Amino acid sequence: MSSVVLIDAGGTIASLPDARGVLVAREGAAGLRDILAPELRVGVVERHAYSGLSEDMRFADAIGIVREIADAVAGGAQGVVVTHGTDTMEDVCFLADLFHGGDAPVLFTGAQRAASVPGCDGPANLHDAVAVARHPSARGIGAAIVFGGRILPARSARKLDSSGPEAFGPHGSTIGRADDHGVRFTATPRRAPAFALVDPEPAVEIAALGMGSRPALIEALMASGVRGLVVEGFGRGNVPGQLLPAIAKARAGGVLVGIATSCLGGGTAPSYASGAALADVGAIGAEDLSARKLRLLFAVALAGGADAATAEARVRGWLAA
């Protein structure tokens, strides 16, 4: 049977309870291959990349996982399965997708309920992810999340439930299902050309807005030395008018600026006055990307000290692909 590389990247699926019953990170590898059914273990090679919980993950940790994926694909793996914490799974899955241009599927999965509690979901999710990795129709889908029986492409997958077993959605983005009757694909995800593997620029931040947000929020991030700024606004990418001068000043100062929406669907467009004003000063609309994913795209585009103009061309080119 063709090989599948299983990368242990920590998270709930690998966690342990402490003396109080609070989940904490496991030291070292979790030995997750052993929870697979014997027939599924054949040809599965396990590697360890990260031991912590995913809320503590930094760019360096995430890129370490991406490099493990690249090594596995270069070594001829039929597919790669990454077990990961759900809090930032969508981020690292998307980052992996930005760098992965090959046909081997890269599948992220994990658990909402740890192995130490009743109803743990990790074994079923891992079983499904390995089955998807071996399915011939998974070739060419890029990176995706396999969770709660659903297969969701990296570009659109988002954590929607903080505790339930169907953690990821939106369901309308599902490209296939995996269950006890096998794997079934119903759609092919949109893919853009991959970037060369680089260390992302860490000085990119998100300003999440609420009603009446003040310019001080943008000014504080500017004072911290950000090179990229993603504003998570309302509706189609709208912001309070009092923020427009601060955002325009950031863009004029050489900061790459983007505008995303807090909405799950519909994307961004300069349909209203504030959104049009942002477009006029060069802010990049996230389109269907979440603020977190636009931030990652910015971080990759700004890598290697690229200036805002170069990075903007990279981002707009990727979004248009």
Active site residues: 12, 86
Cβ atoms of residues 97 and 6 within 8 Å = no
Is 54 assigned a ligand-binding role in the annotation? yes
Q: Is 186 annotated as a binding residue?
A: no
Q: Which of 278, 272, 271 is nearest to 218 (CA)?
A: 278
Q: Is there a contact between 110 and 12 (Cβ–Cβ < 8 Å)?
A: yes
Q: What distance in Å separates the CA atoms of residue 256 and residue 238, rounded to the nearest whole number?
A: 18
The packing angle between helices 89-99 and 59-74, to 10°, is 50
- Helix, strand and coil content of the chain, in percent to the nearest 5, comes to 35, 20, 45
Q: Please enumerate in sequence order all residues whose Cβ is within 8 A of that of 276, keeping only pairs 6 or more positions apart, or say none.
A: 270
Asked if 82 and 107 count as a contact pair (C-beta separation under 8 A), the reply is yes
Q: In this structure, how many other beta carbons lie within 10 angstroms of the beta carbon of residue 27?
A: 8
Determine the distance from the C-alpha atom of residue 270 to the mean position of all C-alpha atoms in its chain, rounded to a whole number: 26
Rounded Cα distance, 6 and 114, in Å: 18
The continuous run of DSSP H or E covering 169 comes out as: strand 168-169
- Whether 217 and 233 have beta carbons less than 8 Å apart is answered as no
83 labelled as ligand-binding?
Answer: no
Longest dimension (CA), the chain: 62
- For residue 279, what are its two tokens? 């477009």
Q: Detail the residues annotated as belonging to a binding site.
A: 54, 86-87
Q: Detail the residues annotated as belonging to a binding site for substrate.
A: 54, 86-87
